[in-house]
Structure 1
Amino acid sequence: MLTNIIVILVILFFARSIYRDFIANDNNPLANQAEASIVEGKFTPKSLAKYNGKDHPKIFISVKNRVFDVSQGAAFYGPGGPYENFAGRDASRGLALNSFDPVVLTPLDQPIDDLSNLSKLELESLEQWDEHFENRYKVVGTLHENGTVSEEVKGL
């Protein structure tokens, strides 16, 4: 009886490993389809807002006018995560100030924050965050003022 249970557990372990390898494999058509659905686009604060993990399954964050797909970090950026305030938003000022307070976010109907009043230390912090995002997440677009590009990004 104990031998049967051990054999079943070993089989389940290997089946799980094979499944994970299949999902991570570049030849997996499901993974390729999901990746292909993300195309680089131009976002405005209003069009970016829906990519918050609640209104849309993808989670995007803008840092220094570049939009990153942070969906793989949903535990951090998605609903309930410590950085959830930044999901679907320009997170530049909050990251520069190391603040999660919603008051550091520019309202969606206001011009994009030009960050002109940040100190040298805050700008250095923002650069480190920008490097972090660049090294870890895919850039899926750029952030533009409301009304300067179509409010709908195709292919997402």
Structure 2
Amino acid sequence: MAFDLSTPINTALLLYILYTVQRILIPSNNVSKDIPTEFKNGYSWMPKAHPPTLLFQNYTPRTLQPFNGENGQRILLGIKGVVYDVTAGRNFYGPNGMYANFAGRDASRGMAKQSFDTEMLTPVDQPLDKLEDLTQEEIDNMKGWMEHFSSKYIVCGRLVENDAA
């Protein structure tokens, strides 16, 4: 049984084998010199600008209040003493978002009770809500929200009582 190059199928197979061997032995080094700035053909891209660093710090209800996402500001919210930077979820927590009333506030009671009502928010000039009247189901619900936020957003501080005025 001889290999006959006069038949087109044998010639095509030989050319394919030679091309494949050449690609294996001499791989292409065509790496783009441009750094992609948006998602197009893959997952390797760089943002146009890195967000400014936010240092871990203590917040009071008053100092947390300005971080409500208005005028392009960061969006922070607190749950049971932990402050999360939820700026990446601006569509949800920013102005006109579904959870906008929690931005810049202690959202513990509202998250526990699954309520967006403004009555769930403790006024910023009052002590932090102790959450003593919550049921076990509501506490578990709040813990679930904390797990969700911890896995998705940056923990950037602690929510502490207002300084004595």
TM bucket (normalised to shorter chain) is 0.7 to 0.9
TM-score by length of 1: 0.75
Q: Name which structure has the greater RCO, CA cutoff 8 Å, separation 6+.
A: 1
Displacement of 1:22 in angstroms is 2.3
Structure 1 residues without counterparts, runs of 5 or longer:
1-16, 25-29, 149-156
Equivalent pairs counted in the alignment come to: 124
Matched, 1:19 2:37: yes
Structure 1 distance, partners of 2:128, 2:72, is 22
Contact 1:50/1:56 (CA < 8 Å) preserved in 2?
A: no
Task: Please say if 1:52 is aligned against 2:76.
Answer: no
CA offsets per residue over residues 55-110 of structure 1, 9 Å max, x none? 66100010110100000000000000000000000000000000000011000110
Kindly provide the amino acid, as one letter, of the partner of residue 106 in structure 1. Answer: T
Deviation per CA, 1:1-33: give whole Å up to 9, x if none: xxxxxxxxxxxxxxxx92121218xxxxx41xx
Distance 1:49 1:55, change over 3 A: farther
Is 1:93–2:117 an aligned residue pair?
no
Which letter maps to 2:105? R
Q: Structure 2 length as normaliser, TM-score?
A: 0.71
Secondary structure in 2 aligned to 1:23?
coil
Write the letter of the residue equivalent to 1:96.
A
Larger Rg belongs to: 2
Unaligned runs of 5+ in 2: 1-34, 39-44
Share of identical aligned residues, percent?
A: 41
